[in-house]
Amino acid sequence: MRYRNASEILPDRLLKELQQYAPGELLYIPAEKQRRQWGASSGAKVFYEQRNQTIRNRFFSGEPLESLAEEYHLSTDTIRKIVYQ
């Protein structure tokens, strides 16, 4: 990334507007790109979706909330939220 003079790039009206907010300051303008969703890079999102689906399946097969909470080291309230999501 290199330094460029804003007066050479930006239209006058935009430059004047920026000067009202940050006169004489150096500004970083990030490139436009999409942010990744949480867990997309690490695989955490997929892991938790699969875990939660397994919890739902086991609950609806008759397994009690308390045993699921103990096995997955979660509170019964958290298991309840997962199941009734």
Per-residue pLDDT tens digits of the chain, which is 85 residues long: 688 889 899 999 999 999 999 998 888 888 777 778 888 888 899 999 999 999 999 999 999 999 999 999 999 999 999 999 8
Which pair of tokens denotes residue 11?
């239209």
Contact 61, 83 (CB under 8 A): no
Which of the 8 DSSP states describes residue 30?
Answer: P
Element (H, E) at 8: helix 6-9
- Answer yes or no: are the C-beta atoms of 52 and 82 closer than 8 Å: yes
Whole-structure pTM over 0.75, yes or no? no
Give the CA dihedral 59, 63, 67, 69, nearest 10 degrees: 0
